[in-house]
Structures are given as structure tokens and as C-alpha cells.
């Protein structure tokens, strides 16, 4: 036995076992818990589409606690504490400040220690408004319109756009604050159904849509309105003149099985045009018809047509269906007064003949006629006649 062991044994004997009790007592002393940073697993942020300034956001994950304090830190390093709305075993829900916007780092604090969550919380840069009511009735270009609601500020602007306008074209409109909302002057060029967005610096909020009426004969959209529906909210615009030469081909004569499958009705010209071009390109590639190489068919003439509007371009023209071109004929005299040039000629439609001739023939409208509407079918490849594009809104 070494000297240390002997001394310990002597001490235990001399104390009559008290030393054993002392050692036992040492084993029962409780050590204070050492705080650790929150341990959080499987965390995931909500989509930006599910977050609204002034609303709430739910972060999913495991390990959140009622004791947690949540901070948001923006790109500049500014940190703010946000309210914790609720905590479950699987997530934590926080309140998003009304003036929030952009990317935020999320910090969770518990017992004075912090954990930074991986990733960022995206908050859309929005203008927060309440009780917004867009004009219920259609408006007209140049008129004054009112948007009701609260939260508008001096300097707010409207950005108005729509698929009926050239790509990239928007209208920037100033607002005047009035009792209960704001007023603005409807741009004279507006027509159809347009999307309205309010802007405040970098912040943007979609307010909904506004409907603007036009009349037959109005010059909008790169041409002249010749037919309207829904009280002038929707309609058709004819190009200011025919395009190509006076003798263009519809396309090759094919079997009924290789017809494009078109319609004669209003509202089908655009789809007809796309179908004709797709079918022609597919058949050309498969059959390699040498006589059609380099030939621009009537539908392609329209699809390639463009009309400049300052720095923007209208490029959504198409070959009208039989019904759509028939309506042009009915108002051709009015259109001539508006400057539309439609020389006397037969003009192609995008409507193929009914079965069993859709592969062989297509409809045309006779513009030689002074008053009587004449429309019939003719050979796709055998006839060479005119092309007149339209577009719709």
C-alpha cells in the first residue's frame, strides 16, 4: 500500500467513519445548470407569397419555446425585436411590422443566449392599405376616377399595365389625396382591363383591375377599334392597312387529317393562327416540300406583323377568323374615314373549310363588294389573295 492510501485509511479510522459520511455528502451536491443557446432543428421559412407587412409569418421547425425572443436583422445590420404570436411543437409565429420589407436574418434568443437561423425571411416591399375599393363601374380615358381606402400618402403613384399593351409599356399616374381615398385622371390611351399597382418608392401593392371602355372607331392599340363587346371593355382592332402583297397564299393543300383544326367563330382567330403556323411548320419539316421553302403563308404574315408605338411595339396580330373578318367588312366605310386602307380584294381568314374539305380549302371575305357580305371557301394553294391583320383586347 502506498503512502497516500495509508494516510487516507488512517484518517478514516481515526474519524470513526465520519469521513465516509463526508464523502457521501459530496456526491449529493447539485450543480447549477449552464444555459445553452437554443437548439433548433429542421427550420424553414415561409414563402414570400405567404408574408405580408402588418401580418404574421410562421417559421417551422423543432425546438422553439414559449421563452423565445425573436429579432429581425436587415441588410444594414439594424435589428428589431418582434412580437411572438404563438409557439407549437412544430413552429413559431411572429408579427411582421407594417414598415418591414426585404430580406431579414432571424435571431432566436433564450436565457440570454442567441441562435441565428440559417437562411433569410423574405418580406415583400408592399404599400399597406386598408379597405381598398377600386372603381366598380367602367371608366373612360381622360375621366377622373376614385379609389377608396385608407393608408394612402402624398407622393404615392399608380402604375397601370395590361396584356393588351406592348410588352414593357406601363402608365405612371399621379394621385391626389381626397376624403376617403385618392383621385386620378385616367390616361387617354387606356382601354380594356388593366392591372393597377400603387407604388411608394420601392414598395408596390397590386390594387386590382380597372376597366376602361372604348367605342367603335376609336384609334387605340396600334389600329382602329371595329367591334366591341361588354359595353366596350373588350373588342377587336384592325390594322391600318393590308400587309404583304395583294396575292399571298394561305398554305399547302393537305389531307383532312393534316388540317389545323380551326373555327369560324368570333374570338378564335388568334388560336387559329397559331394552329395553322404550327401545323405548317410540322408538315414542312416532315415532307420537305421544295415549293414551300421560303414562302410566307398568310397566318405567318400576321404573326410577324408589328406596329411601333414610340419605343414600344404591338406584336400580337393574327389572321382573323371568318366571323371576325366579316365584322370588318360591315364597317369598312367607317374604317376608311378613319384612315384604314383596305384595297378592293378578296382577303384570307384563318378559318378552314368544313369537313371534308378543311385540308384543301379555307374561307375568304370578298372586299370587292360595296355592301353585300360575300364569304365562301377557296383552294388554300390555288388562290392568292390579300391579308389583313387584327388584334383583340
pLDDT digits (tens, 9 = 90+) for 224-239: 999 999 999 999 999 9
Same-domain check for residues 52 and 201: no
**Among 94, 123, 152, which residue terminates a domain?**
123
Same-domain check for residues 89 and 147: no
Print the domain residue range for 269: 223-392
Same-domain check for residues 251 and 346: yes
| pTM assigned to the model | 0.80
Same-domain check for residues 209 and 277: no
32 in any annotated domain: no
29 in any annotated domain: no
292 in any annotated domain: yes
Whether residue 2 is predicted with pLDDT greater than 80 in this model: the reply is no
| CATH code where residue 186 lies | 2.60.40.3920
**How many domains are there within the chain?**
3
305 in any annotated domain: yes
**Cell numbers at 207, concatenated:** 390594387
Same-domain check for residues 229 and 375: yes
Same-domain check for residues 118 and 153: no
Same-domain check for residues 114 and 134: no
Same-domain check for residues 231 and 163: no
d(CA 206, CA 49): 13
28 in any annotated domain: no
State the chain's mean pLDDT as an integer.
92
Same-domain check for residues 239 and 386: yes
Same-domain check for residues 311 and 240: yes
How many helices (H) does the chain have, and how many strands (E)? 6, 29
- DSSP class per residue in 17-57: THHHHHHHHHHTPPPPPPP-----EEEEPPPGGG--TTSEE
6 in any annotated domain: no
Distances (CA, A) of 12 to 3, 16, 28, 54, 100: 15, 6, 20, 72, 71
Same-domain check for residues 234 and 112: no
**Among 123, 154, 170, which residue terminates a domain?**
123
Whether residue 356 has a cis bond before it, omega within 30° of 0: yes
Q: Quote the DSSP letter at residue 269.
A: H
pLDDT digits (tens, 9 = 90+) for 143-188: 999 999 999 999 999 999 999 999 999 999 999 999 999 999 999 9
Which residues, listed in sequence order, are joined to residue 385 by a DSSP beta bridge? 248
pLDDT digits (tens, 9 = 90+) for 255-304: 999 999 999 999 999 999 999 999 999 988 887 788 899 999 999 999 99
Q: Check residue 150 and give its pLDDT.
A: 97
Q: Check residue 27 and give its pLDDT.
A: 53
33 in any annotated domain: no
Same-domain check for residues 60 and 115: yes
d(CA 388, CA 155): 45
Whether residue 90 is predicted with pLDDT greater than 90 in this model: the reply is yes
Containing H/E element for 106? strand 102-110
User: Residues 358-369: what's their mean pLDDT?
Assistant: 98
pLDDT band at residue 28 under the 50/70/90 scheme? low
**Among 178, 213, 248, which residue terminates a domain?**
213
22 in any annotated domain: no
Amino acid at each position: 500500500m502506498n503512502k497516500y492510501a495509508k494516510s487516507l485509511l488512517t484518517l478514516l479510522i481515526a474519524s470513526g467513519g465520519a469521513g465516509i459520511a463526508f464523502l457521501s455528502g459530496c456526491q449529493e451536491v447539485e450543480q447549477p445548470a449552464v444555459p445553452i443557446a437554443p437548439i433548433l432543428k429542421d427550420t424553414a421559412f415561409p414563402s414570400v407569397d405567404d408574408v405580408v407587412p402588418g401580418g404574421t409569418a410562421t417559421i417551422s421547425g423543432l425546438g422553439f419555446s414559449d421563452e423565445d425572443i425573436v429579432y429581425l436583422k436587415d441588410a444594414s445590420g439594424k435589428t428589431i425585436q418582434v412580437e411572438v404570436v404563438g409557439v407549437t411543437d412544430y413552429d413559431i409565429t411572429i408579427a411582421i411590422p407594417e414598415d418591414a420589407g426585404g430580406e431579414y436574418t432571424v435571431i432566436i434568443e433564450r436565457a440570454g443566449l442567441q441562435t441565428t437561423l440559417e437562411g433569410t425571411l423574405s418580406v415583400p416591399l408592399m404599400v399597406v392599405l386598408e379597405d381598398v375599393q377600386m372603381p366598380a363601374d367602367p371608366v373612360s380615358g381622360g375621366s377622373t376616377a376614385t379609389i377608396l381606402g385608407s393608408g394612402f400618402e402624398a407622393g404615392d403613384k399608380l402604375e397601370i399595365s395590361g396584356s393588351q399593351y406592348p410588352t414593357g409599356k406601363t402608365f405612371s399616374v399621379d394621385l391626389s389625396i381626397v376624403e376617403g381615398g385618392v383621385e386620378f385622371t385616367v390616361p387617354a390611351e387606356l382601354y380594356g382591363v388593366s392591372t393597377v399597382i400603387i407604388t411608394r418608392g420601392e414598395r408596390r401593392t397590386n390594387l386590382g383591375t380597372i376597366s376602361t371602355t372604348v367605342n367603335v372607331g376609336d384609334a387605340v392599340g396600334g389600329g382602329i377599334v371595329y367591334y366591341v363587346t361588354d359595353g366596350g371593355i373588350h373588342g377587336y382592332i384592325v390594322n391600318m392597312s393590308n400587309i404583304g402583297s395583294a396575292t399571298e397564299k394561305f398554305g399547302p393543300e393537305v389531307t383532312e387529317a393534316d388540317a389545323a383544326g380551326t373555327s369560324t367563330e368570333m374570338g378564335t382567330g388568334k388560336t387559329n393562327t397559331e394552329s395553322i403556323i404550327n401545323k405548317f411548320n410540322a408538315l414542312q419539316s416532315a415532307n420537305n416540300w421544295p415549293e414551300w421553302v421560303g414562302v410566307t403563308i398568310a397566318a405567318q404574315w400576321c404573326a410577324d406583323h408589328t406596329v411601333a408605338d414610340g419605343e414600344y411595339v404591338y406584336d400580337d396580330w393574327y389572321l382573323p377568323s371568318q366571323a371576325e373578318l366579316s365584322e370588318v367588312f360591315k364597317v369598312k366605310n367607317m374604317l376608311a374615314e378613319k384612315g384604314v386602307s383596305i384595297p378592293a380584294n378578296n382577303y384570307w381568314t384563318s378559318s378552314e373549310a368544313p369537313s371534308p374539305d378543311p385540308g384543301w380549302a379555307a374561307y375568304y371575305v370578298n372586299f370587292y363588294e360595296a355592301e353585300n357580305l360575300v364569304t365562301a371557301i377557296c383552294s388554300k394553294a390555288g388562290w392568292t389573295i390579300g391579308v389583313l391583320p387584327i388584334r383583340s383586347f
